Amino acid sequence: MENRPLTYPKNEKLKSRTTIDRMFTEGKTVSKYPLRLVYIPLENIEDVPLKMGVSVSKKHLKKAHDRNYFKRVLRETYRHHKHIIINRLDKPYAFMFFYQTKDRLSFEEINTKTIQLFEKFAAQEEL
């Protein structure tokens, strides 16, 4: 891993409605239960290698504080393990990171699944 700080700066946050819509129509998917990653390559982007958004289904977790907790956990695991993907990217990508289960997994379990998911993405895209 590079000597980069483990950050999730504002310019890495996925905010573009058009990119998000495109992601759901054209995007590819990688899953490692209960996590799912939907992604598309980006053409016109500033100097960031990837844009990341997180989502937790209201269908599975009814209470906002539960959804917020899992979104914080997803952002934290992304922040710690994004080097797995970033060090292998040759072009910019947009990612949407989903937590899709009613089960309340521990931080350690989600952390392990995140590493497996990022490795699976890297293998699938042969980065």
Cα dist from 85 to 12, 29, 119, whole Å: 13, 15, 8
Instruction: Tell me if 57 is assigned to some domain.
Output: yes
User: Residue 125: pLDDT band by 50, 70, 90 thresholds?
Assistant: confident
Instruction: Tell me if 46 is assigned to some domain.
Output: yes
Residues 6+ positions from 68 with CB-CB distance below 8 Å: none
Instruction: Tell me if 111 is assigned to some domain.
Output: yes
Report percent pLDDT > 90 for the chain. Answer: 68
Q: Which domain holds residue 83?
A: 13-125
Instruction: Tell me if 87 is assigned to some domain.
Output: yes
Instruction: Tell me if 1 is assigned to some domain.
Output: no
Q: Would the CA dihedral through 100, 85, 94, 74 be positive or negative?
A: positive
Which CATH number characterizes residue 93's domain?
Answer: 3.30.230.10
Q: How many domains does the chain have?
A: 1
What pLDDT, on the 0 to 100 scale, is given for residue 1? 46
39 pLDDT above the threshold of 80? yes
In angstroms, how far apart are the furthest CA atoms of the chain?
39
Q: Please give the average per-residue pLDDT across 5-31, as a whole number.
A: 90
pLDDT single digits (tens) 61-108 = 999 999 999 999 999 999 999 988 888 888 889 999 999 999 999 999
Instruction: Tell me if 7 is assigned to some domain.
Output: no
Instruction: Tell me if 2 is assigned to some domain.
Output: no
pTM of the model: 0.89
